[in-house]
Amino acid sequence: MNQDKTQSPKGKLKQRLLLDEEYKVLSSLGTGGMAEVYKAEQVSLNRTVAIKKLKSSLSQNPEMLERFYREGKSTANLQHENIVQVYQMGKAGEEHYIVMEYVEGKDLKSILKASATIPWQIAGLIIREVAKGLAFAHQRGYIHRDIKPGNIMVSQRGEVKIMDFGIVRRIDSELTKTGAFLGTPSYMSPEQLKGESITPGSDLFSLGVVFYEILAGEKPFRAESEASLIHKIVNEKPKSIRKLNPEVPWRMARIIKRLLNKNPKKRFESAEELAQALEKLLGKTIIARAEAEIASYLAGIDDWAQEEKTRQVKDYAGKESEELVQVEPFKKGRKTSRGIQASKAQSSLRAKSGQNSIEEAKWMFKTIILMAISLGLILIIYFLNASGVISKLIKLFRHYF
């Protein structure tokens, strides 16, 4: 039988990958800058997967091939609940592919389009899950280097997973080189933009930018040109998060401020320490039901079904408005130019938010009282000593005892 020249994506994939009947292609998820992605069923294990195939036009490009396989190999070495899993990778004919976990949900970028900001408790839970995934990667010697909303998936069940390890680097590898480098400028750390050696702290800065954005509804550093943006990230402090969203607790604002410190050594020592700080802030009760809380919030966001197609394209193919770009290292002297919208799902959290605000106020009140008592005691001791009362009391004590 002659092969139809105008095959569907499903037919083309089966022909090109030559994977026999192991994978039954269900639909095309879309095409990104470097890959075509399909939703498929792995017949032998009866599970849904995503098959990511490098574009044929890039199959002869050494740099793109290296990035593609780096993503597959590094992710395959990171078996963690907060990282999208890779099941298989290889080459069939002239086609290069990765079979990976299919996550039914949305990335943070899509969530922010449906709800300009995320309630602080939900935001804290999401960032904590990302921190856990990063901690695992860092402990095994990997720096992600491209943490941003589009690379953080949130499933309908409330799971949070990091994806796209395409520009990951080993901590012990040579991380700096002369000239331009890849990244998403808005989320890059000062040391990345200056072309300096990077550490796990660079991922924490990027996560701080994401944390700020999902709470404030805008990025901490914004500018009309790339040069101006880089200058701001390297030299300027962002506006206080509480000025943009007063509902954010003081302690959470301090966590974000620490994450965005220009000096990597003054950020959290590790992603694990960040996760622990958020656990302490949020409390054991909400932490115990983290996935349920996140899932409940997502269920209340409008047009889930309408945006799913768009979401899938972005999630796996990496097609989004903020693509990776080459960035020239920052140099001093470079010239520069110059609403918080609540979703319906937030209503269920307002009572909890109010309760936590009360707890925050109680904590601050207790701190002020303790400081006042301490100061009062110091003053009393000072005046008693100055008037000679303490010396007289000591003499009487010695006389009778």
Contact predicate 33/319, CB 8 Å: yes
Alpha carbons 260 and 47: distance in angstroms, whole number: 40
Angle between helices 347-386 and 120-139 (to 10 degrees): 80
Contact predicate 157/305, CB 8 Å: no
- Which of 145 and 33 is assigned the larger pLDDT? 145
Catalytic residues: 146
Q: What is the structure's pLDDT at 245?
A: 96
- Which of 17 and 290 is assigned the larger pLDDT? 290
Query: What are the Cα distances from residue 118, in Å, to 39, 150, 181, 182, 292?
Result: 29, 15, 32, 29, 16
Q: Is 325 helix (H, G, I), strand (E, B) or coil?
A: strand
Q: What is the structure's pLDDT at 323?
A: 59
Average of per-residue pLDDT across 306-331: 53
Residue 140 backbone phi and psi in degrees, to 5: -100, 15
- Taking 50 as the threshold, does the pLDDT of residue 339 lie above it? no
Average of per-residue pLDDT across 30-42: 81
Alpha carbons 207 and 214: distance in angstroms, whole number: 11
Average of per-residue pLDDT across 319-342: 49
Among 123-132, 156-165, 182-191, the minimum mean pLDDT is found in 182-191
> Model confidence at 368, in pLDDT bands (50, 70, 90)?
confident
Average of per-residue pLDDT across 55-79: 85
Average of per-residue pLDDT across 247-261: 97
Q: What is the structure's pLDDT at 376?
A: 80
CB burial of residue 226 (10 Å; 0-12, 13-18, 19+): middle
Average of per-residue pLDDT across 81-97: 88
- Which of 136 and 345 is assigned the larger pLDDT? 136
Among 22-36, 78-92, 278-292, 333-347, the minimum mean pLDDT is found in 333-347
Q: What is the structure's pLDDT at 383?
A: 75
Determine the number of helices (DSSP H) and then strands (DSSP E) in the chain. 15, 12
Q: What is the structure's pLDDT at 294?
A: 94
Average of per-residue pLDDT across 77-91: 91
- Taking 80 as the threshold, does the pLDDT of residue 135 lie above it? yes
> Model confidence at 324, in pLDDT bands (50, 70, 90)?
low
- Taking 60 as the threshold, does the pLDDT of residue 341 lie above it? no
Q: Of all residues in the chain, what percent carry a pLDDT higher than 90?
A: 42
Average of per-residue pLDDT across 30-38: 78
Q: What is the structure's pLDDT at 35?
A: 83
Domains of the chain: 9-101 (3.30.200.20), 105-348 (1.10.510.10), 368-401 (no CATH)
- Which of 297 and 351 is assigned the larger pLDDT? 297
Contact predicate 264/189, CB 8 Å: yes
> Model confidence at 217, in pLDDT bands (50, 70, 90)?
very high
Average of per-residue pLDDT across 175-189: 67
Q: Of all residues in the chain, what percent carry a pLDDT higher than 70?
A: 74
Residue with tokens 């970028």: 109
Alpha carbons 21 and 43: distance in angstroms, whole number: 7
> Model confidence at 176, in pLDDT bands (50, 70, 90)?
very low
Q: What is the structure's pLDDT at 288?
A: 93
- Taking 70 as the threshold, does the pLDDT of residue 305 lie above it? no
- Taking 90 as the threshold, does the pLDDT of residue 212 lie above it? yes
> Model confidence at 173, in pLDDT bands (50, 70, 90)?
low
What CA dihedral angle connects 258, 260, 264 and 269, to 10 degrees? 40
Tokens read off for 347: 């209503």
